[in-house]
């Protein structure tokens, strides 16, 4: 009987699963997460490591030496002494005891003092108690102790606050009144936050954590940015952290700006410069930005490998010089990758991403159009239609492909050239066509290189010889692909 391992579900229910079932569950969960977030799945060694942790009999997990990271906690000690259903285990203890437990037993490197309501507005009436708690904790602790709370601008709207709820105003089509309500609430949020932190910083706080910033949209962020700016000006040495409620900034107001930048719709990499401009030391999505950079590196690597493999294949078929077919000891077409890298570095001199994308759009439109016309040719030519392929589209699709081919070339190509000229000038169009036309001299050069050794031809069977002849025909069609109408008109009349 297969060994089963004791595990617990999210609700605490104990289950017993075999190794095979555990691996199945892990892989299914990873695949689902990768699909939802459009990220790369975990590698096989990381999956094995995760499974190893889950199947540990003692369920005691530590960190390997050299792999340690700083440990911190938000919402203070609420996870210990709180009992709200969604967080906290309801252990009766003071906040001081909770902080000392985190420092001395749980290995926390930083902590934060936080009120049970965990928002700045409710702290105002009890700020004296919070100041006293901060002083007592600082007298008994060594690690840095911040004060953490949410800006939580929603508390400034009715029924909890003095300003009318902008959601209700918008439903009544009172747009200007809704804007005014959000702007007034943002001003009060800034004022309250600065006032609370003036008291707590005087009582020994090492810094502030603006938790879940922008939960109420761009006006929430607007008030927070001005609070950060005011605190940095008054307390140059204060450590200020800002964490985000989500990735994209919701445009509840839509017209608020900071440092000339409209806040609505900003993504983390666009928010970070504004947070730094205001004076914060740490921005919550910074880790996410690093992960995005790592993901982009992987995407670039994938693109390099795909493009270099395509050039290698074309070199093997005789449609590009043999220079591009050189492989290194790891089986990677190194020359093709170097050329692609040099081209991409050259594109950087176009200076702006929009110009690079504009130049690339010409290549995309031409490539899609050529592919569609090539499909039409393959369907109409009797020799090509006999070739075996794993999938054949139903009858009639050649006319659909022809329609979209004509749509791409020349209609979309003309549109792309026209839009490029309006938006980014003629540089991108010139670069796009120059790069695209470089294939012509390369193709002619490849035709004059040495042919495939005769020994390879003799070793082929009669069937492979027939396929080789078809491949030679396909190879000889490559140059006219530069003009898709030429290939279509020429070969449809054969």
Question: Which residues are paired to 146 by β-bridges?
Answer: 112, 207
What distances in angstroms separate CA 106 from CA 19, 74, 392, one per listed residue? Answer: 31, 14, 62
Report whether pLDDT(214) > 60: yes
End-to-end CA distance of the chain: 68
On whether the CB atoms of residues 2 and 19 are closer than 8 A, the answer is yes
Placement of tokens 């390997």 in the chain: 64
Region 66-87: mean pLDDT is: 75
107-111, 164-168, 285-289: least confidently modelled range: 285-289
Strand partners, 244: 213
Strand 145-149 to strand 111-113: parallel, antiparallel, or no bridges (unpaired)?
parallel
- Give mean pLDDT, residues 261-277: 89
**242, containing H or E segment:** strand 239-244
With cut-offs at 50, 70 and 90, classify the pLDDT of residue 277: very high
Of 357 and 407, the one with more pLDDT: 407
d(CA 453, CA 458): 9
pLDDT at 479 over 50: no
Predicted pLDDT at 430? 86
151-204 pLDDT per residue, tens: 999 999 999 899 999 999 999 999 999 999 999 999 999 999 999 999 999 999
Q: Which of 11-15, 156-160, 281-285 tops mean pLDDT?
A: 156-160
- The size of the chain, in residues, is 494
Mean pLDDT of 4-28: 88
Mean pLDDT computed over 465-480: 46
Nearest to 278 by CA among 258, 253, 262, 255: 258
Mean pLDDT of 2-15: 84
Is the peptide bond preceding residue 410 cis, with omega within 30 degrees of 0? yes
The pLDDT confidence band at residue 483, using thresholds 50, 70 and 90, is very low
| Backbone CA torsion sign across 164, 166, 170, 176 | positive
pLDDT band, residue 86 (cuts 50/70/90): low
Region 468-491: what's the mean pLDDT?
A: 42
What mean pLDDT do residues 278-295 have? 69
* Residue 84 token pair: 């709200």
CB 484 within 8 A of CB 409: yes
- What DSSP string describes 309-330? HHHHHHHHTTSS-GGGG---TT
* 207 — pLDDT class (breaks 50, 70, 90): very high
- pLDDT tops 50 at residue 480: no
Interval 54-76 mean pLDDT: 76
Model confidence at 1, pLDDT cuts 50, 70, 90, reads low
Long-range contacts of 359-363 (CB under 8 A, 24+ apart): 359/420, 359/427, 359/428, 359/429, 359/431, 359/432, 359/435, 360/432, 361/416, 361/420, 361/432, 362/413, 362/416, 362/417, 362/420, 362/428, 362/429, 362/432, 362/433, 362/436, 363/432, 363/435, 363/436
Kind and range of the H or E element at 348? helix 334-348
Q: What is the pLDDT of residue 449?
A: 75
pLDDT for the residue 53: 87
pLDDT at 148: 93
Alpha helices in 407-461 (DSSP H): 413-423, 427-437, 439-447, 454-459
Helix (H, G, I), strand (E, B) or coil at 253: coil
Long-range contacts of 413-416 (CB under 8 A, 24+ apart): 413/362, 413/365, 413/366, 413/369, 416/358, 416/361, 416/362, 416/365
- Average pLDDT score, the chain: 82
pLDDT band at 19 (very low <50, low <70, confident <90, very high): very high
Span 283-287, mean pLDDT? Answer: 59
- Residue 69's Cβ-count burial label (10 Å; 0-12, 13-18, 19+) is exposed
> Residue 485's pLDDT band (boundaries 50, 70, 90)?
very low
Q: Is the pLDDT of residue 235 over 60?
A: yes
pLDDT tens, 325-346?
888 888 888 898 898 888 888 8
The pLDDT confidence band at residue 297, using thresholds 50, 70 and 90, is confident
pTM of the model: 0.52
Query: What is the helix (H) or strand (E) element at residue 148, kind and residue range?
Result: strand 145-149
């Amino acid at each position: 009987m297969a060994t089963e391992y004791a595990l617990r579900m999210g609700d605490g229910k104990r289950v017993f699963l075999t190794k095979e079932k555990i691996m199945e569950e892990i892989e299914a969960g990873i695949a689902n997460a990768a699909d939802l977030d459009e990220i790369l799945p975990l590698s096989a060694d990381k999956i094995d490591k995760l499974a190893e942790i889950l199947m540990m009999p003692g369920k005691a997990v530590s960190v390997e030496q050299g792999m340690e990271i700083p440990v911190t906690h938000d919402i203070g000690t609420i996870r210990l002494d709180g009992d709200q259903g969604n967080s906290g285990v309801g252990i009766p203890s003071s906040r001081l005891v909770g902080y000392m437990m985190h420092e001395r037993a749980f290995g926390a490197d930083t902590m934060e003092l936080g009120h049970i309501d965990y928002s700045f507005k409710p702290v105002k009436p009890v700020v004296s108690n919070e100041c006293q708690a901060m002083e007592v904790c600082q007298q008994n602790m060594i690690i840095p102790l911040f004060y953490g709370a949410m800006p939580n601008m929603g508390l400034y709207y009715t029924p909890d606050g003095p300003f009318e709820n902008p959601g209700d105003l918008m439903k009544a089509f009172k747009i200007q009144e809704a804007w005014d309500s959000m702007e007034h609430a943002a001003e009060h949020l800034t004022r309250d936050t600065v006032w609370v932190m003036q008291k707590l910083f005087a009582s020994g706080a090492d810094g502030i954590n603006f938790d879940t910033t922008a939960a109420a949209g761009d006006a929430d962020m607007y008030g927070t940015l001005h609070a950060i700016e005011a605190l940095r000006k008054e307390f140059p040495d204060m450590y200020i952290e800002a964490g985000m409620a989500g990735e994209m900034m919701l445009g509840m107001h839509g017209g608020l700006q900071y440092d000339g930048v409209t806040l609505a719709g900003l993504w983390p990499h666009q928010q970070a410069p504004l947070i730094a401009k205001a004076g914060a030391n740490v921005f919550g999505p910074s880790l996410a930005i690093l992960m995005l950079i790592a993901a982009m590196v992987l995407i670039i690597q994938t693109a390099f490998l795909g493009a270099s493999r395509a050039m290698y294949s074309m070199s093997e078929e005789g449609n590009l010089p043999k220079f591009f077919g050189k492989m290194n000891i790891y089986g990677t077409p190194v020359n093709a990758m170097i050329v692609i890298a040099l081209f991409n570095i050259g594109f950087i001199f176009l200076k702006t991403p929009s110009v690079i994308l504009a130049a690339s759009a010409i290549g995309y439109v031409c490539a899609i159009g050529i592919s569609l016309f090539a499909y039409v040719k393959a369907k109409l030519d009797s020799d090509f239609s006999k070739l075996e392929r794993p999938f054949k589209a139903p009858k009639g699709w050649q006319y659909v492909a022809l329609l979209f081919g004509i749509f791409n070339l020349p209609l979309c190509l003309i549109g792309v050239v026209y839009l490029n000229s309006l938006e980014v000038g003629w540089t991108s169009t010139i670069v796009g066509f120059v790069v695209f036309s470089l294939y012509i001299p390369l193709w002619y050069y490849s035709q004059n290189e040495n042919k495939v050794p005769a020994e390879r031809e003799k070793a082929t069977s009669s069937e492979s010889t027939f396929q080789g002849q078809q491949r030679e025909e396909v190879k000889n069609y490559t140059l006219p692909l530069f003009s898709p109408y030429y290939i279509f008109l020429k070969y449809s009349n054969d």
